[in-house]
Chain A
Amino acid sequence: MNQDLASATAPIQGAQSPEARLGMAHGLRRFAGRSDVLGLLVVYLALFVYLSIRTPYFLTSDNISDLLREMAVLGIIAVGETLVILRAEIDLSVGSVLALSAVIASQDSFVTSTPLVIVIALAVGILCGLVNGIIVASTGISSLVVTLGTMTVASGLALVVTGGAPRVFEVPFLEKLGQGELWGVPTQFVVMVLVGLVVAYVLRMSVFGRSLYATGDNDRAARLNGIRVGRVTVSVFALAGGLAAVGGLLYGGQFGSADPTIGVNLNLLGIAAVVIGGTSLFGGVGGVIGTLLGTALIATLQNGLVQLNVASAWQEVVTGVVIVLAVLADRLRARARDR
């Protein structure tokens, strides 16, 4: 058929040479496509330099090492959240799922076996994600509402399992991840970067990645073109749940405990990191690299505010302002894109 059409269809006149036009358009677009991330990088570097100058302790190897440790757990759940938001959905429950998978995996009968701990945590996380995804995909109920519910259920269950108090969660392998160093860099930071790179690769190179972007951008079009939209939706929630469990394991390794209340804060910070990182809440636009930068920005801001002796209540205010600014920027970018 295509050969027939090729001979039958006359080329369009007055066109520039395709190669010349391509080269330029391509370069320009690449720049425009990355400009969000570049802009964020500039903001981040400015913050970094400012903190280095203003506080004596910020730019010390101890503090940088702390900083990298602090951002790992948030970064990993934010990567999962990125997938959900690319689908134009939202998952409010990731932090609570993190807490739940950690407290369940820390039960006495599991901690004796490292593989068992990991399997249990992942199973809990993925299961929670599947529940979210299946409800959203099969009923069409807004994920905001569904995950608000599962967030509360997960937080509640975490309290039930632990009786409210943090549990001891000491597994040697996890402690190596959470407290050790690899090539002089905190191990969990290396894990976060690896997770980010793998997910970025999958998003870019796999059919799943393209289908996810397509579904998030225009799910009616995706459906009409034969993409199994429901599967994509369930997959992203399951992956987000699984990554939350990875976050829970690293948290356990880092602090030697499983805290049922840790989730509350992480639920929203994860979403904030994604939005600051330039992934659009409208779906279909953005990516993991931006999210990791967003995570770095939040972590650095919080670390820096401590260095500047800002009261912790004010730290929350500042973080909140940054999030609102990021959402505003998202809105403005969306408007610019659609012009």
Chain B
Amino acid sequence: MSAADTLAPVLEVRGLTKAYGRVQAVRGIDLALRPGEICALLGENGAGKSTLIGMLSGVVSPTEGTMSVEGQPVSFGSASAAQAAGVSTVFQELSLARHLTVADNLFMGRMGPLWRLDAPRRRRERAREVLVGLGWDIDPAAPVGRLSAADQQLVEIARAIASDTKVLLLDEPTSSLAPQEVERLHDQMRALSAAGLAIVYVSHRMTEVFDVASTFAVLRDGRLSLRADTADTTPSAVMDALLGGAAAQTGSDRQVLGIEESAERPAPLELRGVGVSHVLHDIDLKIRWGEVTGLTGLRGSGAVELAEALFDRRGVSGQILVRGVDSSDDPRELMRRRIAYVPPERGSGLFPNLSLAENIELTARVGRRKSELTARDVIRRLSIKAENESVPIRTLSGGNQQKAMIGRWLLLQPEIFVLIEPTRGVDVGVRREIHELLWQFADDGMAVVVASADLEEIADLADRTVVLHEGRIVADLERVDVTTVNDAIAKAAVA
């Protein structure tokens, strides 16, 4: 029992539920926040976390349930209504006007009616008072775009608490910050909580939340799976609550070919000292032929970023070798080297109004490769379900679109296949089909690399699992189950 428990809750929700159609994103959550509490809110993609934050901040209206602030029942129609009731939110994407000054941003939307006059100098002075009051050394006359990411985040926070705020929601405030900036933000959060503010802190970085949070609330499948004081819990208990300890399952009993690299056939991909500032540090990794390599870790761990770095060299240091030769970020060059790349968002790979057949054949046409295969062969081999091959691809289900995105590369007869989150948003059946397809690729001798923050998927799919945490490789494992991966991450998180 901590001292905070004796205080009356400042924000309390009961039976909070949100349904989108028949899907319940959040199911009957009870949660009470006390003054001075820093509550870490955690949850994997789809656990209902952003819906919950949305309801607390007034952007999403609940289907059922009640909310009260300091014992008074409230219902928020908008973000400004929530703010008026004392609940302010700093949203995930910065909502600053980059070309305006700090002072302009601080008072944006709060300067009264449009016709009123408000001299820039007086606004600067008021901003200075607020910033000095918070003890933050930020020039109120500086354009926000020139500030460091951490200072921009502080400006957002200062704006959120400039009014009479009781609860502050921070939605992943550290995703763009460097470690020392995170430390600085944490110091400020502690100071704010000492002054009586309740803070809800959404983050994917386990070390960070254990550093600063006083309590934990973990969401899984729309329900609270853990609510505890930090002192009473451990990283692995949080991981279990996050991912569902019972979800551990082993994949099939695949035999890996075990192809050795040789002078004629150097490693498909080799990374030497690869880094991306704030995201990846000093990665050395060699991918092998004939197996499925999974890159995984919590969101923000760098697993997905690592796969992206293979094809987007901006800001990437170190050396990336494709079959022993420096990699390129020219898509045509990659095609020539028979590398297939399936990006995470379907939107960036599909032409929604073109037909299924055209979507499949386009890649090969651009690659100017004569292929024995036709769109029809791909549709048959991947059993893509469509009325016929000439319907616009947007009329297909997400799973079938995804299959088309993967299948189109077959026309180029690729030898290296890199996929990011290949089964996000597809149903279980299609997911299984895609996994089997990728195993076939590996059995044909291809190198398959799958990056995903979905640990279950990687545990099911990968022959070899590379686990990342805070931008470093923390484990390199043969076929594993979810628990093993969890343990590796939890161990790295406390280390």
A→B interface (CB under 8 Å): 1-12, 15, 18, 21-22, 25-26, 29, 204-208, 210-211, 213-214, 217-218, 220-222, 224-228, 231-232, 235, 284-285, 337-338
Q: Is the CB of B141 within 8 A of A25?
A: yes
Please indicate the chain A residues that have their CB under 8 angstroms from the CB of B109 in the complex.
Answer: 211, 214, 222, 225-227
Q: Is the CB of A284 within 8 A of B161?
A: no
The contact string, 1 if C-beta is below 8 Å from chain A, for chain B 443-467, is 0000000000000000000000000
Q: How many A-B Cβ pairs are below 8 Å?
A: 142
B→A interface (CB under 8 Å): 79-80, 83, 91, 94-100, 104-105, 107-120, 123, 129-130, 132-137, 139, 141-143, 145, 159, 161-162, 164-165, 184, 187-188, 191-192, 194-196
7 further A-B contacts with Cβ under 8 Å, apart from A9-B192, A22-B141, A25-B142, are A5-B191, A18-B139, A213-B99, A224-B91, A224-B95, A285-B99, A338-B98
**How far in angstroms is the closest Cβ of chain B from A219?**
9
Q: What would be 23 A-B contacts, judged by CB atoms less than 8 Å apart?
A: A1-B161, A1-B165, A5-B134, A5-B192, A6-B133, A8-B194, A9-B195, A10-B135, A11-B135, A12-B184, A18-B137, A207-B116, A210-B100, A210-B108, A210-B118, A213-B100, A217-B97, A225-B108, A226-B109, A227-B109, A231-B114, A232-B114, A235-B114
Say whether, besides A9-B188, A21-B139, A225 and B114 are in contact (CB < 8 Å).
no
Q: Is the CB of B141 within 8 A of A29?
A: yes
Please indicate the chain A residues that have their CB under 8 angstroms from the CB of B107 in the complex.
Answer: 210
Provide the bound-state CA to CA distance between A25 and B143, in Å.
Answer: 11
Partner of B97, one of A2, A231, A284: A284
Provide the bound-state CA to CA distance between A225 and B104, in Å.
Answer: 12
**How far in angstroms is the closest Cβ of chain B from A123?**
20
Interface secondary structure of A, over-half rule: helix
Partner of B133, one of A3, A12, A210, A285: A3
Please indicate the chain B residues that have their CB under 8 angstroms from the CB of A2 in the complex.
Answer: 129-130, 133-134, 162
**How far in angstroms is the closest Cβ of chain B from A16?**
8
Residue of chain B at shortest CB distance from A280: B99
Q: Is the CB of B141 within 8 A of A26?
A: yes
Provide the bound-state CA to CA distance between A231 and B129, in Å.
Answer: 30
Provide the bound-state CA to CA distance between A222 and B79, in Å.
Answer: 12
Say whether, besides A1-B161, A338-B145, A8 and B137 are in contact (CB < 8 Å).
no
Provide the bound-state CA to CA distance between A9 and B119, in Å.
Answer: 29
Q: Is the CB of A205 within 8 A of B192?
A: no
Please indicate the chain B residues that have their CB under 8 angstroms from the CB of A206 in the complex.
Answer: 114-118
Please indicate the chain B residues that have their CB under 8 angstroms from the CB of A18 in the complex.
Answer: 137, 139
Provide the bound-state CA to CA distance between A210 and B114, in Å.
Answer: 9
Say whether, besides A205-B120, A226-B110, A218 and B135 are in contact (CB < 8 Å).
no
Please indicate the chain A residues that have their CB under 8 angstroms from the CB of B120 in the complex.
Answer: 204-205
Q: Is the CB of A221 within 8 A of B97?
A: yes
**How far in angstroms is the closest Cβ of chain B from A238?**
12
Residue of chain B at shortest CB distance from A218: B97
Say whether, besides A2-B130, A6-B133, A225-B159, A207 and B111 are in contact (CB < 8 Å).
yes
Provide the bound-state CA to CA distance between A31 and B137, in Å.
Answer: 23
Q: Is the CB of A25 within 8 A of B115?
A: no
Say whether, besides A29-B142, A226-B80, A208 and B115 are in contact (CB < 8 Å).
yes
Provide the bound-state CA to CA distance between A235 and B113, in Å.
Answer: 13
Please indicate the chain B residues that have their CB under 8 angstroms from the CB of A224 in the complex.
Answer: 79, 91, 95
Residue of chain A at shortest CB distance from B141: A26
**How far in angstroms is the closest Cβ of chain B from A223?**
9
Say whether, besides A5-B192, A225-B159, A213 and B143 are in contact (CB < 8 Å).
no
Please indicate the chain A residues that have their CB under 8 angstroms from the CB of B161 in the complex.
Answer: 1, 5
Residue of chain A at shortest CB distance from B137: A15
Q: Is the CB of A207 within 8 A of B113?
A: yes
Provide the bound-state CA to CA distance between A263 and B95, in Å.
Answer: 39
Residue of chain B at shortest CB distance from A228: B114
Partner of A218, one of B98, B116, B134: B98
Please indicate the chain B residues that have their CB under 8 angstroms from the CB of A207 in the complex.
Answer: 111-118
